[in-house]
Amino acid sequence: NAGVTQTPKFQVLKTGQSMTLQCAQDMNHNSMYWYRQDPGMGLRLIYYSASEGTTDKGEVPNGYNVSRLNKREFSLRLESAAPSQTSVYFCASSVTSGGAGDTQYFGPGTRLTVL
Amino acid sequence: QQQVKQSPQSLIVQKGGISIINCAYENTAFDYFPWYQQFPGKGPALLIAIRPDVSEKKEGRFTISFNKSAKQFSLHIMDSQPGDSATYFCAASKRGGTSYGKLTFGQGTILTVHP
């Protein structure tokens, strides 16, 4: 039982390049989330998927797209990376959706630098 | 718009002392208030959580105090230990509608406990 896994762990991109961050969970959770963490800003929600087949924007969605490939996998894509997207990205999952109180389980993060 | 404000940004405490971190929220619809703990290089993990129907919740050395009328809640760490050195995030979420258990995080507090 690996929990939430993310790949890659580190990535350096040049401005304008594209890449996809991968996330998978093996806990049979319905909901999955992508956050970015920046110093002094806390964790900000980029996109989330309440259940397989649905996705919706969070607080800071501009410059990102997501795909809920199946119940286990939720990917985040940067189409044209910008230096402002330099951050640590976390994927999380929770059991269910529609109600408060579900623990979110986080992956180990991807540290992305855009030059 | 920062709906959850956390203070202080950083905190230094001596071993055995009490660490106190405060959060204030704006949205009265919030009804679930978790605290997450994050060690360097790791993803956040749930530490303790409270609902607004109680004013205090204690788990070991960790206590949440909740003041609904003031829209504030705080984390107290008693007998702080060097192993408690980490970043702490408060968060809030609300039931129902399209919230889907989305968490709004505070900015984070870096706690350092000196031996």
Q: Distance between CA A101 and CA B96 in Å, rounded?
A: 11
Tokens of B57: 């919740």
Selection from A22, A19, A1, A20 nearest residue A109 by Cα? A22
pLDDT 10s digits, A9-50:
999 999 999 999 999 999 999 999 999 999 888 999 999 998
Decide: residue B86, CB within 10 A, 0-12 exposed, 13-18 middle, 19+ buried.
buried
Q: Distance between CA B112 and CA B68 in Å, rounded?
A: 29
Tell whether A63 is within 8 A of chain B (Cβ): no
- Residue A102 predicted with pLDDT over 90: no
Tell whether B89 is within 8 A of chain A (Cβ): yes
A101/B42 CB distance under 8 A: no
pLDDT 10s digits, B1-34:
568 999 999 999 999 999 999 999 998 888 889 9
Find out whether B83 and B62 touch, Cβ atoms under 8 Å: no
> Chain B: residue nearest A101 by CA?
B32
Q: Estimate the share of chain B in helix, then strand, then coil, as percent rounded to the nearest 5.
A: 5, 55, 45
Question: Pairing mode, if any, of strands A31-38 and A42-49?
Answer: antiparallel
Mean pLDDT of B69-85: 97
Tokens of B75: 């984390």
Find out whether B114 and B17 touch, Cβ atoms under 8 Å: no
Alpha carbons within 13 A on the beta-carbon side of A1: 4
B100/A48 CB distance under 8 A: yes
Tell whether B95 is within 8 A of chain A (Cβ): yes
- Residue A89 predicted with pLDDT over 90: yes
A8 prior amide bond cis, ω within 30: yes
Taking residue B114's Cβ as centre, other Cβ atoms within 10 Å add up to 11
**Nearest CB to B44: which of A56, A99, A106?**
A106
Q: Distance between CA A11 and CA A19 in Å, rounded?
A: 9
Given pLDDT bands bounded at 50, 70 and 90, which one contains residue A65? very high
Task: Give me the pLDDT at residue A105, please.
Answer: 93
Task: Give me the pLDDT at residue B102, please.
Answer: 81
Task: Give me the pLDDT at residue B99, please.
Answer: 59
Average pLDDT, chain A: 92
Category of B63 on φ-ψ map: left (φ > 0), alpha (ψ -120 to 50) or beta: beta
Which residue's entry shows tokens 């999952």?
A93
B98/A56 CB distance under 8 A: yes
A100/B43 CB distance under 8 A: no
pLDDT 10s digits, B42-69:
999 999 999 888 999 999 999 999 999 9
